[in-house]
Amino acid sequence: MKNRKITVLIPEDLLDSAMQSTDKNLTDTIKEGLKLLGAHRAYQQIAKLRGKIKLSYDVKRSRKDRSE
């Protein structure tokens, strides 16, 4: 993964709170926050599909296939 050095202005109280929540250093806290933002967007896209895709799963058949 290619790294990029940036300069940002972040409210100190917000940053302190985030670092306390993660119990990590500044860089790791920022990385974790950015990963969570990316995951949030993916979850939103999945949520839009709710009720649009029908899935069926036969537990008995699955167990039978596994035992054979």
Read off the pLDDT of each residue in 51-61 and give the average, rounded to a whole number. 81
| The pTM of the whole model exceeds 0.75 | no
* Helix-helix angle 12-22:26-48, to 10 degrees: 80
Asked if residue 25 lies in contact with residue 35, where contact means CB atoms within 8 angstroms, the answer is: no
- How many structural domains compose the chain? 1
pLDDT at residue 67, rounded to an integer = 63
Domain of residue 29 covers 12-67
Q: Is 46 helix (H, G, I), strand (E, B) or coil?
A: helix
Burial label for 22, CB within 10 Å (0-12, 13-18, 19+), is middle
Domain membership flag for residue 1: no
Query: Using one digit for the tens of pLDDT, what is the confidence trace for 3-27?
Result: 999 999 999 999 999 999 999 999 9
Does a structural domain hold residue 30? yes
Domain assignment of residue 58, yes or no: yes
